[in-house]
Structure 1
């Protein structure tokens, strides 16, 4: 995901180069899958053509809700048709996604009883999900709520016994056991769970009826510095339009510097370090601070509509059961020139994510050539990923195909043009029973699975598959490792670092006829296999016991009359 605080998938890939499977003997060739004869050839020329066209200058970087969007959509629809898909939204190709852009300004200082005053930007940042011209928090009681987590399956409730109406939650970043080296502990140790994501903490504060929520920034558990927080909350913020204009959300969400939190707690006669330690223990109870906070800002509001593109291959025996494939079509549009082309202000987004849409189209064509699967296969080119996963968020909240009838799926985002790899990794770790299919598919190819590097960064929660996962649908998010067949980790790291340093979110992310497509082809072979196995099978995968999304899936399946209730 390229959300406000996301480290990019490619940055994560570059980091993961440090993890490698055992090197293969020189000259060893990785074997094709056992069923390679039954798998259609990957249409590499089609992927080249789609990537080249989508990243052409006249598509102006594919910014959503701009004058170029209709031309981009027409092209994707034409490619979906040519691949053999049918319109996937009740006879239509498009799913409109209504959005709101809000830009906050005219911030007041944040004042806290006892004479404390903190500057916007330097000390705190804030925004609102409520679509209103003014956001004002006035004399709101501050309550320290630890990590702000309610996890019934773990017997954990940081809000137990406290009424948050009219109050402001002061929340620690990440999970209670983030400092653990391994993955032991209720919250999977160093591996971040959804409960550790800043988005979850704001959502839970709203569910608790809080007026505002303030996360305490700390560089190590956050995995980024204050400069990232500050820059990310400057300028336009985007959300999906809701009928109630977000009035069920908090008045304001924000972050405060750790030093600010320390000063506030000291004024309350408390110690941040001591309360942090207490909050890491099961049974912690929220602590009212006896202080009140006030701050506010104005909002400039703009409403617009973009579109997801949806195609389908109907299933032949169980068409009401769905396997989902997704990739986002949007990018940044015009951006600041960089490097040796001072007049080039188009962020073409060839890797991010024109080649993902090309892979999506290729897999659609391969499945059409293979003939109908037992289950229906739905292909969605999503919009507004770069604005916070909004296209997938809207689909998840307004699914064309019921989520309790959606078996699982595969998401494709920023496939690096480089060589074939010896191994793959599951972002998020072994979260669901999809992992069993993944390991079998790797073994059939002579590939290995390697651990995700930097699991504390929560990479699983930063791309479009997450919008489905948090609603209970198991989704594959697997990536090629940097241990390449030709050149090993040195070659892989060089390719990823070049993209990260010189091309990511920059005008230099352009298509080249000199790209190495062998690794992307390997990705597509694997993605096709994973999706087709689900589409031809009877499996209804669930999340592993103890996963944060297990209860959501269980509840949906228990209420369903068919779909996942038939497993």
Structure 2
């Protein structure tokens, strides 16, 4: 399939960045190539690509081989395409959790995976945590938004009960940032708390249901280890999600109705207060140290003055692996995210065939995204190229090629000039930008662009928009079927009704975005008076919004 004249012209005219020559010489994005990559990476032989497993290592070798074939180079002084990420797998011993809530009515034992949900400790093999309980609203300190749930509360040495998520009044992207549980753990630890007890409001239940949490949280988990960096930082010892009945019982002890607090939180932040209760958590964990690898290849820039600036294109190589109780125990992760890696590989191939771009492009297959953005978080803590030389980060997560989409939801687009580049790319394939339909989910903090955002780098996280299709009307059946029955399930495999012509069109959009960012006469810049830039990049250069 040849690129349309519209794609070349729109890029060249609207961007004014020499994209026409790049597009004219580029080999076309191939839907069949995307299909072939997806099929290999989601095959049963790779057994789910969980980070730290043989299947993941096979997938990493496959991606590294493709990078070599496309003429990519190792990043910085790295000798090859791999960045080792040290991991610690933590799991609970059999019957390794005893959780007790003590109130004026007496002590009540609760069962992990039924009444509460807690995972193994990342630092301690055998521990007992005892603490009084304090309710602290959303558990957020956001000075720029004049919000402080810890104001007037003494939480030092205590267990803090907080609502999951963030106030609806927060700007969308900042709502995502402050919803992230690791960010809430940092804020609680800085306030002196030693444990978190989280609550699922009815709104949060839509995106992160208790039923899924109670099953998944007690399972073995991964984290990256770096004692030298983290030994001085305050930490939360345990984060425990309370089931709905436990939450109601706890608040009733203080004469409070937790459902009324949920309702109040919709319109105004609930004030914190002490609860007449304490917790005792006895937990025995097992640690297994290992490692996995990010896979990173650089297509060097061609412009002498711009080649030391980098556009990062990140896509996670691992798949979600959950409970294995059914007849099919392999979580193939075709859509999430073998297809995203496949699209990224096609962008790398086509951009290399076009002779590269003015800026260097760092293609980044991340490890352990499904375990908490571990690979991208590790890279940002241990960058192979200077962080100040990374001028933009674009995430490719998911291949939602179920319908001939008319819109693109480009998260982060409203905050920097990456949005202008994305809009031009969308128009080149006959699509438009559409607003985030589920801002409460906090998706900008749920993929590999987020660690880059936290260090002040403009980011973009695009996906096709659900439903609307070219030519009018809606087509939601396959999309909704995937989200309700196949997302993060063993059935996310090549039997899904993916349309490879649509995957090809999506690849064309992604190529146009990366080429536009990498060939621009100016680096991606934050907009003036942008709330994200104010938090994450207060001293960065700004431009006026268009």
The TM-score normalised by the length of structure 1 is: 0.81
Distance (Å, rounded) in 2 between the aligned partners of 1:124 and 1:545? 42
Distance (Å, rounded) in 2 between the aligned partners of 1:189 and 1:243? 34
In structure 2, the partner of 1:99 is 87
C-alpha distance after superposition, 1:93-120 (max 9, x if no partner): 1001111121234222322241242413
Cα drift, residue 308 of structure 1: 0.6
Distance (Å, rounded) in 2 between the aligned partners of 1:239 and 1:207? 21
Cα drift, residue 280 of structure 1: 7.6
2:50/2:56 contact within 8 Å kept: yes
Distance (Å, rounded) in 2 between the aligned partners of 1:286 and 1:334? 35
Would you say 1:212 and 2:195 are equivalent positions? yes
Task: Decide which of 399, 424, 436 is 1:440's aligned counterpart.
Answer: 424
Cα pair distance change 1:189/1:248, threshold 3 Å: closer
Cα drift, residue 211 of structure 1: 1.0
Distance (Å, rounded) in 1 between the aligned partners of 2:256 and 2:480? 45
Task: Decide which of 44, 49, 63 is 1:57's aligned counterpart.
Answer: 44
Matches within 5 A, 1:514-533: 516-533=499-516
1:129/1:249 contact within 8 Å kept: no
Matches within 5 A, 1:488-507: 488-490=473-475, 493-500=476-483, 503-507=486-490
Matches within 5 A, 1:346-495: 346-427=330-411, 430-481=414-465, 482-485=467-470, 488-490=473-475, 493-495=476-478
Would you say 1:236 and 2:220 are equivalent positions? yes
Distance (Å, rounded) in 1 between the aligned partners of 2:291 and 2:35? 29
C-alpha distance after superposition, 1:466-496 (max 9, x if no partner): 2322332222111112323378423xx2332
Cα pair distance change 1:190/1:374, threshold 3 Å: closer
C-alpha distance after superposition, 1:195-223 (max 9, x if no partner): 23333322321222211111122232342
Matches within 5 A, 1:51-90: 51-90=38-77
Cα drift, residue 322 of structure 1: 1.0
Distance (Å, rounded) in 1 between the aligned partners of 2:352 and 2:430? 27
The TM-score normalised by the length of structure 2 is: 0.84
Distance (Å, rounded) in 2 between the aligned partners of 1:280 and 1:503? 31
1:30/1:446 contact within 8 Å kept: no
In structure 2, the partner of 1:150 is 141
Cα drift, residue 355 of structure 1: 2.0
C-alpha distance after superposition, 1:316-359 (max 9, x if no partner): 32222110001112225797486xxx5x5433333222222221
In structure 2, the partner of 1:20 is none
C-alpha distance after superposition, 1:411-433 (max 9, x if no partner): 11221344532221124673444
In structure 1, the partner of 2:235 is 249
Distance (Å, rounded) in 1 between the aligned partners of 2:320 and 2:165? 29
Cα drift, residue 302 of structure 1: 1.6
C-alpha distance after superposition, 1:482-515 (max 9, x if no partner): 323378423xx23323434564444444447995
- Unaligned segments of structure 1, at least 5 residues: 1-28, 179-184
Distance (Å, rounded) in 1 between the aligned partners of 2:162 and 2:322? 36
2:428/2:509 contact within 8 Å kept: no
Distance (Å, rounded) in 1 between the aligned partners of 2:71 and 2:488? 32
Q: Which moved more, 1:86-95 or 1:534-543?
A: 534-543
1:83/1:361 contact within 8 Å kept: no
**1:87 counterpart SS class:** coil
Cα pair distance change 1:155/1:98, threshold 3 Å: same
**1:477 counterpart SS class:** strand
Cα drift, residue 283 of structure 1: 9.2
Distance (Å, rounded) in 2 between the aligned partners of 1:142 and 1:513? 47
Task: Decide which of 127, 140, 148 is 1:135's aligned counterpart.
Answer: 127
Q: Which moved more, 1:91-100 or 1:493-502?
A: 493-502
Would you say 1:112 and 2:96 are equivalent positions? no
- Unaligned segments of structure 2, at least 5 residues: 12-19
The alignment's C-alpha RMSD in Å is: 3.3
In structure 2, the partner of 1:16 is none
